[in-house]
Amino acid sequence: MTAIAERPAEAQHARKPLMTSKAILLMNAGFFGIQYSFGMQQTAVNPVFTFIGASPDELPILNLAGPITGLLIQPLIGALSDRTWSPRWGRRRPFFLLGAIGCAVCLFLFPMAAALWMAVLLLWLLDASNNTAMEPYRAFLADKLPDSQLAKGFLTQSFFTGFGITLANLSLWVFQKLLSGSTDAGIPYWVFISFWLGAVCSIGSILVTTLSTKENPPTPAELEQLRQKREHGNAIGDIVAAVRAMPASLHKLGLVYMFQWYAIVIYWQFASLSLVRSIFGATEDDKALYAQAVGVNGLANGLYNIVTFSTAFLLVGLARKYGAKWVHTLALGLAAAAMFVFPHIGSQWLLILPMIGLGIAWASMMGVPYIMVVSMVPKERYGVYMGIVNMMIVVPMIIQTVTFGWIFKHLLGDEPRNALMFSGALFLLAAVAMTWIRPPKRQSPVVPLTFRQIMGYGRVLVGSDGSPSALRAVDRAAEVAAASEAELIIATVYNPMTARQEASLALTAPGDTRAGQVRGEEHGRQVLAETRERVNTARVRLAEGLVLPGDPAHAIVDAADLHRADLIVVGNRGMGAVAGTLLGSVTGDIVKAASCDVLIVQTLPGPGGDGDPAAEPVEEHAEEAAEGSAGAERSRR
């Protein structure tokens, strides 16, 4: 068999070059501007509504723009960006550049609103622009970075999230100290400067990313897929198909999102109203004291976002050690504690205590779940699934805007401090719901999604040609799959040559091991059926069986890429192996070409045995499974 010198182009897309820390910072710089805009929405939009006449119980419904535009725009933009490619502009960059321009224009105009309806309209346009920029940016990151750098990339976004929102919030507090006076509509002049600074940051930071970071060009096979998508489908159909194919763990993550995003929106809407009572002993009717409370709220939000960008990279180490699932669970618990404490603090300088907890939670919310998502979904659908995840964010927001006004008025006694206590209870429920999520089947080799004593795999592929060596490999693959709760794929590769061609090969190239392999598709199906009978399906979930023509090594490696397997299991010798050799040529070629872990099962006969595993039943013990997983780790390419 000829050794594999080069992988097919369509399989090479998974191999992405490592990026330097500087390059990762530059590619994420645009997120700073997007998050400055988002920070102004968090802290300044509701005070503007209040300044021009909105009552507290009207605030939730006035914020309906955000979740509605997110629900409609993000999945659509994600699906469209998946279907887009321009040699000059790329796939994602046109969308977040267009969104940044819209953000800059809306931020410049927002403080000029003289009536409530004008402010609401500008909020709709601002949120539409933010959503157009945000979702493709997350997919852009997943497109560019190899698996080993995804955690660093997403938590770099958390760093810029904290940095951008910090500047937005602190600008309110700082400019309030420097400027006085207000418009006839009652909007202070210091609000103008904060919004205008955001407009500059929004477009400027996106330009840094656009000019410094090019997108990875698609392979010819990927370009053909894009062409077929445009010709035979539409973006709406992509969204519907993706929703139907969502993994179960992603549905469970939606429940966590329901609680955590409902809770954080309550904080954004009612923090300043709580502070004017707890710190100043007044209500929003006292415009002067309420303006001071808005400034203090900006300072508090700045504090928690300083904590966010200070701890974002620390979370990488914690996730690496304990698993992303438990890091996020702890972070949500800290957010719950922060909301229970916040309404009872009477000094603005003591607000740093709950803001530490909220800042850690916000860093986790903006980074850790996305590590989980990209490990669950196929690369070519990152855009649409990032949009769906953001639907899971905006649906709780919509529910909050249409329900919380009534809850606030009739159940919480029109008391903003009770609203924040209610937010804390929801964060606590989110933490409990997080413990229900089973780890996604494909875990990051750098940042595991849950803590395990053995290496976890989500999808194990084993090649079988019916030989004793291959059957022993199937037994070991079943053990590893059972221990990791993974799907098991069995692949049988057959020789498509005719009998005459095989006889000719045996005469002209007697050393070529293609002679004597599985002959023909029918023989391949028979071998596959016999192999499947060996697997205890009560303990192992069989995903599918594959009968593939062609070169065994090429076929197995390409099938592993196509089906997103993260472990290939093979015997060290198979049918046609040269007697006395330690490693068969097929196995050696798989090791050279595979882009995932390879477990090579020792199949030489033991003392007093003949090496035939047919008489050796699969062991039902976790210790052997752990041993198999350790072997896989040792075989990591």
184 burial type by CB count under 10 A (0-12 exposed, 13-18 middle, 19+ buried): exposed
- Of 512 and 32, the one with more pLDDT: 32
Confidence of residue 502 (pLDDT cuts 50, 70, 90): low
Most confident of 434-443, 493-502, 579-588: 493-502
Give the sign of the dihedral formed by CA 358, CA 359, CA 364, CA 366. positive
In this predicted structure, the answer to whether residue 4 has a pLDDT above a threshold of 70 is: no
Confidence of residue 331 (pLDDT cuts 50, 70, 90): very high
In this predicted structure, the answer to whether residue 626 has a pLDDT above a threshold of 90 is: no
Identity of residue 429: L
Query: What pLDDT is stored for residue 85 in this prediction?
Result: 74
CB atoms within 10 A of CB 180: 9
Angle 148-444-540 from CA coordinates, rounded to 5°: 150
DSSP-assigned letter for residue 603: -
- Of 429 and 73, the one with more pLDDT: 429
Confidence of residue 232 (pLDDT cuts 50, 70, 90): low
In this predicted structure, the answer to whether residue 535 has a pLDDT above a threshold of 50 is: yes
Average pLDDT over residues 218-228: 70
Phi, psi at 484, each rounded to 5°: -95, 0
Query: What pLDDT is stored for residue 156 in this prediction?
Result: 79
Average pLDDT over residues 286-311: 83
Cβ-contact 572, 583 below 8 angstroms = yes
Per-residue pLDDT tens digits for 299-319: 888 788 788 878 877 886 777
Query: What pLDDT is stored for residue 497 in this prediction?
Result: 65
Taking the mean position of all CA atoms in its chain, how far away is CA 76?
18
Query: What pLDDT is stored for residue 548 in this prediction?
Result: 87
Confidence of residue 635 (pLDDT cuts 50, 70, 90): very low
Rounded Cα gap, residues 123 and 349, in angstroms:
31
Query: What pLDDT is stored for residue 620 in this prediction?
Result: 36
What is the DSSP code string of 344-391? G---GGGGHHHHHHHHHHHHHHTTHHHHHHHTTS-GGGHHHHHHHHHH
Tokens of 160: 């810029």
Average pLDDT over residues 526-538: 79
For 22, 54, 513, 567, the CA distances from 585, given in Å and listed in that order, are 42, 75, 8, 19
Query: What pLDDT is stored for residue 175 in this prediction?
Result: 84
Confidence of residue 345 (pLDDT cuts 50, 70, 90): very high
Coil, strand or helix: which one is 28? Answer: helix
Taking the mean position of all CA atoms in its chain, how far away is CA 343?
33
Identity of residue 220: P
Query: What pLDDT is stored for residue 613 in this prediction?
Result: 39
CB atoms within 10 A of CB 248: 12
443-447, 484-488, 490-494, 540-544, range with the lowest pLDDT = 443-447
Cβ-contact 120, 60 below 8 angstroms = no
* Nearby residues of 464 by Cβ (< 8 Å), 6 or more positions away: 470, 471, 473, 474, 490, 491, 492, 527, 528, 531
In this predicted structure, the answer to whether residue 409 has a pLDDT above a threshold of 80 is: yes
Query: What pLDDT is stored for residue 604 in this prediction?
Result: 58
Tokens of 146: 């190899």
What is the DSSP code string of 106-158? HHHHGGG--SHHHHHHHHHHHHHHHHHHHHHHHHHHHHHS-HHHHHHHHHHHH
Per cent of the chain over pLDDT 70 is: 74
Of 481, 510, 469, 488, residue with least CA distance to 616: 469
- Of 621 and 605, the one with more pLDDT: 605
In this predicted structure, the answer to whether residue 454 has a pLDDT above a threshold of 80 is: no
Query: What pLDDT is stored for residue 27 in this prediction?
Result: 84
First to last CA, the chain: 22
Helices (H) and strands (E) in the chain, counts: 23, 5
Query: What pLDDT is stored for residue 617 in this prediction?
Result: 37
Per-residue pLDDT tens digits for 96-137: 788 888 888 888 888 887 778 888 888 888 888 877 877 777
Query: What pLDDT is stored for residue 422 in this prediction?
Result: 96
- Of 483 and 580, the one with more pLDDT: 483
CB atoms within 10 A of CB 5: 8
- Of 527 and 582, the one with more pLDDT: 527
Containing H/E element for 544? Answer: strand 541-549
In this predicted structure, the answer to whether residue 370 has a pLDDT above a threshold of 90 is: no
For 111, 173, 277, 283, 463, the CA distances from 280, given in Å and listed in that order, are 26, 16, 6, 8, 71
In this predicted structure, the answer to whether residue 423 has a pLDDT above a threshold of 90 is: yes
In this predicted structure, the answer to whether residue 31 has a pLDDT above a threshold of 90 is: no
Angle 164-58-279 from CA coordinates, rounded to 5°: 60
26-35, 69-78, 416-425, range with the lowest pLDDT = 69-78
Rounded Cα gap, residues 13 and 215, in angstroms:
13
Per cent of the chain over pLDDT 90 is: 11
Average pLDDT over residues 158-175: 78
Question: What is the residue-averaged pLDDT of the chain?
Answer: 75
Crossing angle of helices 116-144 and 382-410, rounded to 10°: 140
Rounded Cα gap, residues 345 and 355, in angstroms:
12
In the block, tokens 């309110």 appear at 172
Note the pTM of the prediction, 2 decimals.
Answer: 0.53
- Of 618 and 46, the one with more pLDDT: 46
Confidence of residue 456 (pLDDT cuts 50, 70, 90): low
210-224, 400-414, 555-569, 579-593, range with the lowest pLDDT = 579-593
Of 408, 120, 111, residue with least CA distance to 274: 408
Most confident of 78-87, 447-456, 485-494: 485-494
In this predicted structure, the answer to whether residue 615 has a pLDDT above a threshold of 70 is: no
Phi, psi at 538, each rounded to 5°: -75, -25
Query: What pLDDT is stored for residue 354 in this prediction?
Result: 93
In the block, tokens 């420097």 appear at 178
* Nearby residues of 437 by Cβ (< 8 Å), 6 or more positions away: 249, 252, 253, 256, 325
Of 587, 582, 591, 567, residue with least CA distance to 493: 587
Query: What pLDDT is stored for residue 402 in this prediction?
Result: 85
Query: What pLDDT is stored for residue 581 in this prediction?
Result: 45
Rounded Cα gap, residues 372 and 250, in angstroms:
9
Tokens of 520: 């023909």
- Of 13 and 174, the one with more pLDDT: 174
Query: What pLDDT is stored for residue 282 in this prediction?
Result: 87
Confidence of residue 451 (pLDDT cuts 50, 70, 90): very low
Average pLDDT over residues 451-463: 66
The answer for 42, left when phi > 0, alpha when psi is -120 to 50, beta otherwise, is alpha
Of 633, 112, 71, residue with least CA distance to 387: 71
Rounded Cα gap, residues 238 and 382, in angstroms:
12
Confidence of residue 332 (pLDDT cuts 50, 70, 90): very high
Coil, strand or helix: which one is 548? Answer: strand
Containing H/E element for 571? Answer: strand 567-571
In this predicted structure, the answer to whether residue 267 has a pLDDT above a threshold of 90 is: yes
Confidence of residue 411 (pLDDT cuts 50, 70, 90): very high
* Nearby residues of 228 by Cβ (< 8 Å), 6 or more positions away: none
Rounded Cα gap, residues 548 and 277, in angstroms:
71
Query: Residues 305, 308, 310, 316: what is their CA dihedral angle, to the nearest 10 degrees?
Result: -170
For 88, 167, 298, the CA distances from 305, given in Å and listed in that order, are 36, 9, 10
Rounded Cα gap, residues 122 and 120, in angstroms:
5
Crossing angle of helices 382-410 and 248-278, rounded to 10°: 40
- Of 301 and 399, the one with more pLDDT: 399
- Of 230 and 241, the one with more pLDDT: 241
Cβ-contact 520, 502 below 8 angstroms = no
